[in-house]
Amino acid sequence: MRGKLEILAMVFGMLGLVGVATSTGLPMWRVTAFIGSNIIVMETMWEGLWMACYRHADIRMQCKVYDSLLVLKPDIQAARGLMCAALVLACVALLVSAFALRCTNWCRDDARGKNVTLAAGGCLYLLSCLAALVPVSWSAHTIIRDFYDQRVPESQKRELGQALYVGWVAAAAQLVAGALLLARYARRSRKEDTEYAHAPPTENEDEAEAVVVVKPERQASTLYRESEYV
């Protein structure tokens, strides 16, 4: 059961890694909002972190990479860095957690080292979750705020894209993975402390105790008197 929980955490971590990579690469962070009575839309626009895509009626989709980072909105600029950081943290967390599994041979004789490595992997997953959750939630807040703002023209209003939902799912998967790994670390630590407290004494300790017990005390000899030596 213990190994199954660790493997389950690795599965969630892998799903989170794939989800973060997918959300980072997809251009569907902001999509065209269908507002008004006209249900026939001749153009659909998608805006992502790296490019904007346009799809006209009866014409295949065309995408263009942003020319400059400075022309982007602050939330998109921050989302680029945070999503890349989340992707790197997820990769490192997956590697570190793989070494900390009980089924691996790395540090098999060092239980404390494996436990520390497991805790490090769980913390990295939580950091990756936070780094992915912040830009996704920030972008969603900006989209919803502009959607209900009367001063924003209807042509510039956007809706939540599929990439945001993928990002939320990926952050949730990383949260579960980190929580499972930290829970396993807590159980391992308690078990290790219990085994150390009830461990039998070593051979050196037995010899030391034997030496202390066997060592006789020096006493004054009363068998002979001083006159007998004269």
Beta strands in the chain (DSSP E): 30-32, 43-47, 51-56, 62-65, 158-160
| CA 13 – CA 178 distance, rounded (Å) | 8
- Whether residue 6 is predicted with pLDDT greater than 50 in this model: the reply is yes
| CA 98 – CA 85 distance, rounded (Å) | 20
* Contacts (Cβ under 8 Å, ≥6 apart) of 30: 46, 47, 48, 139, 143, 158, 159, 160, 161
Instruction: List, for residues 109-129, the tens digit of each pLDDT value.
Output: 556 777 788 888 889 999 999
| CA 77 – CA 34 distance, rounded (Å) | 26
Q: What is residue 89's predicted lDDT score, i.e. its pLDDT?
A: 94
Q: What is residue 158's predicted lDDT score, i.e. its pLDDT?
A: 84
Q: What is residue 64's predicted lDDT score, i.e. its pLDDT?
A: 86
Structure tokens at 179: 């929580």
What's 105's DSSP letter?
A: -
Q: What is residue 204's predicted lDDT score, i.e. its pLDDT?
A: 47
Q: What is residue 146's predicted lDDT score, i.e. its pLDDT?
A: 86
Instruction: List, for residues 16-55, the tens digit of each pLDDT value.
Output: 999 999 999 998 898 886 655 555 556 778 888 998 888 7
Stretch 201-220: mean pLDDT: 46
Q: What is residue 203's predicted lDDT score, i.e. its pLDDT?
A: 47
Q: What is the DSSP string of 31-58?
A: EE---SS----SEEEEE-SSEEEEEETT
List Cα–Cα distances, 28 to 85, 136, 139, in angstroms. 20, 12, 12
CATH: 3.50.50.60, 1.10.3720.10, 1.20.140.150, 3.40.630.10. Which one for 2-229? 1.20.140.150
Place 174 in a pLDDT band, splitting at 50, 70 and 90: very high
Assessment of whether the complete model's pTM goes beyond 0.85? no
